Amino acid sequence: MVNEKRGIPKNLNLLLSGLIVIVAGVVYGGHPTYLMPELLNFNVEALELKNMLRAVMGIYIGIGSYWLLGAFKPNLWSGATLSNVLFMGGISFGRIVSTVFDGVSMLLTPALFLELLFFGWGLYNIKKYK
């Protein structure tokens, strides 16, 4: 359960990323007509955009919940960690593509670094605790 060299709990990656992703989901979809103009400087008026943002919220809450379950249920740990690696790797890839083609986002670049951190940490855990 504990990484002997660093004393880092095996499940900390799933716990932290699960909580962060659930909070991000609530930010995206909780009240998009208020939060998106405040945080990202764009208005959310179209019904379809509200629907998409709330769907993203649902995805984030669902996957974040799975990671939290994986942190506490050993039989789910492997699948939860693999899905975490795929999610963090995929979202990092998308942000890198956006950075190359669209420019650097001062607001979301810290998110990219966290996603890369969780991606690498998950790969490390899969290799170490296989």
- pLDDT for 2: 47
Residue 87 lies in a domain: yes
The total of structural domains in the chain comes to 1
Residue 83 lies in a domain: yes
Query: Rounded to two decimals, what is the model's pTM?
Result: 0.89
Q: Confirm whether 6 is domain-assigned.
A: no
Confidence of residue 4 (pLDDT cuts 50, 70, 90): very low
Residue 40 lies in a domain: yes
* 7, part of any domain: no
Q: At what angle do helices 109-128 and 12-29 cross, to 10 degrees?
A: 150
- According to DSSP, residue 105 is labeled -
Mean predicted lDDT score pLDDT of the chain: 93
Beta bridge pairs of residue 9: 2
Greater model confidence, 130 or 71: 71
6 falls in which pLDDT band (50, 70, 90)?
low
* Parent domain of 120: 12-128
pLDDT digits (tens, 9 = 90+) for 49-104: 999 999 999 999 999 999 999 999 999 999 999 999 999 999 999 999 999 999 99
Counting beta carbons within 10 angstroms of the beta carbon of residue 53, is it exposed (0 to 12), middle (13 to 18) or buried (19 or more)? Answer: buried
In a domain, 44, yes or no: yes
Q: Average of pLDDT values for 45-49? A: 93
- Give 39's pLDDT tier (boundaries 50, 70, 90): confident
Torsion angle of the four alpha carbons 93, 63, 14, 40, in this order, in degrees rounded to the nearest 10: 60
Summarize the confidence of residues 110-122 as an average pLDDT. Answer: 97
